[in-house]
Amino acid sequence: MSIPPKPCYREHHRPQFHFSPRENWINDPNGMLYYNGLYHLFYQYNPSDKAWSNMHWGHATSRDLLHWEERPVALHAEPEGLGYIYSGSAVVDWHNTTGLQQGEHPPLVAMFTHSSKWNRQVQSLAYSVDGGDNWQMYAHNPVLENPDLEDFRDPKVFWCEQQQGWVMVLAAGREVQIFRSANLKDWRYCSSFSAGAMGGVWECPDLFPLPVGDSELSKWVLLLSINPGGPNGGSATQYFIGDFDGEHFHADDDEVRWLDYGTDNYAGVTWSSMPQGDERRIMIAWMSNWLYANHVPTAPWRGAMTVPRELKLLPAAHGLCLSAAPVAELASLRCGAAVEVRDMLVERRQSLATAPLADTLDVELAIANGGGQASSWQLCFANAGGEQLLLQFDAAAGELSIDRSATAHQMAVHDGYMRKQVAPLQPAGDSAVGLRILKDASSLEIFSSDGRSLLTALYFSRAPLDQLQLSPLDGNTALLLERVAISELRSIW
């Protein structure tokens, strides 16, 4: 008897240009690297259910950071042994420092946390000798024992040119610990770093250098996810900017900085290798929040990733700030005629498109700021059923916010879903506020102030939100819409 084909990747709420698994649960992205023409993405995966449990590493590959092909599970849990496969990273061991190379390919080595039934967390290795298709456990795991900490996990490993050795950052209680190794197997503790927001468990650190603006100067950035304790509830990622001497990280100041103020950008880490000549630092994050991740109304899968984002260090109100923008590749998914409007005076609620909009959108918007025009406004994604997803720019309060409470669906019972999400505005010297919005069936990613103010939020509406309206918020004042361009994005499936 043949099994009828599933209407795969076309389900209600299914992201069309973000990675999500065909079925079952995913959370953190893990082990991202580029090797031999392929970008690899691994992720926390439960192959048997769409709830968090039974962690394995799922695997997908892409040639362009956009179209992903799901591969067989890469790392299998060992429930009776060292345990489940929690988050971690992977590198290309170009110099065969591990001695694991068997043929023409350098070993690809994953370092991850084994978490046992007894919640004992240790760090282990797995490797591939065929360029990333097949993975096997290292025979002498673990390579780093637990010093008796409940939370001791999520190793991120990188090659340090300056020191000609491997460096690992690891979340250990409410510290990031730094270790060094010559061969990825024997690790020496160097230092601990602790600062910033302490409201929750520390998870998924990442450490990397970035140029400051367009200058020759570079700074080190330490990413650290915490759960709970995020600025709008639940999980969020903070970061520190400073210096790294190969063994110690020193932050420039004690300001608490959040990567993204939306509730649905968590556990983001960056690619550990990129194609030769590509200097970009690309991050991907899990698009959900531990507050409600296990309850989002999707089937047969649960969980998706953000779009890959390019990170930069830009000047901001207080020193520097980490900015993010969708990778340039994304624009190649634009299809259909873009709705484009220029210099429109908006005095009351105004529809920005006459025909129903697609469910996958890339919207660019510039609205005059000051100069007698309204500097506070509201954008509303809506549908004929009365559902609304609101984005507000409030210049007086210095805030950008998302309110998804009028798209409640089954999520209404979750306080974390109903609460308004607020991001402080980066002061814009410019005369117009520029925004880029990616909307994909059940997610909104907002990049404003050149990617210095970010809001990423899932939403679950009963029907697609196919209208877009703009209205001034300052009483009778009109606002000047300098430009809006709305493009539909092609599905990657």
Which residues make up the interface to ligand FRU (CB under 6 A)?
27-28, 44, 55, 86-87, 113, 153-154, 203-204, 267
* CB 267 to ligand FRU: min, Å: 4
Structure tokens at 29: 């992205």
* CB 371 to ligand FRU: min, Å: 44
Smaller CB separation from ligand FRU, 111 or 321: 111
* CB 441 to ligand FRU: min, Å: 23
* CB 294 to ligand FRU: min, Å: 12
* CB 51 to ligand FRU: min, Å: 12
Smaller CB separation from ligand FRU, 44 or 453: 44
From CA 262, how far away is CA 230, in angstroms rounded?
Answer: 9
Smaller CB separation from ligand FRU, 204 or 374: 204
Is residue 64 part of the annotated active site? The answer reads no
Tell me if 182 sits within 8 A of 202, measured CB to CB: no
Smaller CB separation from ligand FRU, 234 or 472: 234
Smaller CB separation from ligand FRU, 89 or 448: 89
* CB 143 to ligand FRU: min, Å: 17
CA–chain centroid gap for 341, Å, is 31
Smaller CB separation from ligand FRU, 203 or 445: 203
Smaller CB separation from ligand FRU, 150 or 430: 150
Which residues, at least 6 apart from 225, have a Cβ–Cβ distance to it below 8 Å? 202, 203, 204, 205, 235, 236, 237, 238, 266, 267, 268
Structure tokens at 33: 């690297």
* CB 87 to ligand FRU: min, Å: 4
Residues in the chain: 493
* CB 111 to ligand FRU: min, Å: 12
* CB 220 to ligand FRU: min, Å: 22
Q: Which of 28, 260, 362, 440 is catalytic?
A: 28
Burial class (CB in 10 A: 0-12, 13-18, 19+), 37: exposed
Smaller CB separation from ligand FRU, 28 or 93: 28
Smaller CB separation from ligand FRU, 204 or 390: 204
From CA 284, how far away is CA 307, in angstroms rounded?
Answer: 6
From CA 108, how far away is CA 256, in angstroms rounded?
Answer: 35
Tell me if 237 sits within 8 A of 225, measured CB to CB: yes
* Listed residue (366, 369, 486) closest to 428, CA to CA: 369
Q: What b/e sequence results for 62-96 when a residue is b if at least 16 CB atoms lie within 10 Å of its CB, and e otherwise?
A: beebbbbebbebbbebeeeebbbbbbbbbbbbeee
AA identity, residue 331: A
Catalytic residues: 28
